[in-house]
């Protein structure tokens, strides 16, 4: 396991996200993980990701900062896209958005064990209402 490169693993995960190839999720997680403190199966995680890109079809995750401490990875990314459906409780209006996302992952045995994230929904609302 000492040859496992967490940053390379995370970069491949982000490439998968940006390609919207969510059915590759088995490369990154086992059958279940802890998501926001609750057990979630891979199908649920994939459905959540597909839900994001159904609402924001051109969604891109731009990694800004990554911090790694042992098997814990924290990331700040900027999410870009144009919502076409309600997302994070905000109705679309044809405008592009750019919001911050902060995520925390626990990785062991070459897979995500825990995942959680938060989006700046206030900034999203300001961008789409203003």
Is residue 36 within 8 Å of 116, Cβ to Cβ? yes
Token digits for 14?
A: 């982000």
> Would you put residue 94 in left (φ > 0), alpha (ψ -120 to 50) or beta?
left
The 10s digit of each residue's pLDDT in 94-117 is: 999 999 999 999 999 999 999 999
pLDDT(2) > 70: no
Q: Residue 90 — very low, low, confident or very high, per pLDDT cuts 50/70/90?
A: confident
Q: What was the pLDDT predicted at 126?
A: 86
- DSSP secondary-structure letter at 23? G
CA distances (Å), 13 to each of 19, 36, 64, 97, 112, in order? 10, 19, 15, 22, 10
Q: What was the pLDDT predicted at 130?
A: 63
Q: Could you tell me the pTM of the whole model? A: 0.90
Mean model confidence pLDDT for the chain: 93
Nearest to 85 by CA among 55, 127, 60, 58: 55
Q: What was the pLDDT predicted at 54?
A: 96
Q: What was the pLDDT predicted at 124?
A: 80
Strand intervals (E) in 3-71: 29-35, 38-41, 60-69
Q: Which of 1-10, 55-64, 104-113 has the lowest mean pLDDT?
A: 1-10
């Amino acid at each position: 396991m000492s040859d496992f490169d967490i940053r390379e693993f995370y970069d491949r995960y982000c490439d998968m996200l940006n390609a919207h190839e969510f059915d590759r999720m088995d490369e990154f997680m086992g059958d279940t993980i802890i998501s926001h403190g609750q057990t979630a199966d891979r199908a649920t995680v994939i459905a959540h990701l597909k839900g994001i890109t159904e609402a924001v079809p051109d969604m891109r995750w731009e990694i800004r900062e990554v911090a790694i401490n042992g098997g814990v990875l924290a990331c700040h990314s900027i999410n870009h896209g144009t919502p076409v459906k309600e997302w994070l409780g905000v109705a679309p209006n044809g405008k592009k958005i750019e919001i911050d996302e902060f995520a925390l992952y626990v990785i062991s045995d070459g897979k995500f064990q825990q995942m959680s994230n938060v989006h700046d929904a206030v900034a999203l609302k300001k961008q789409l209402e203003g």
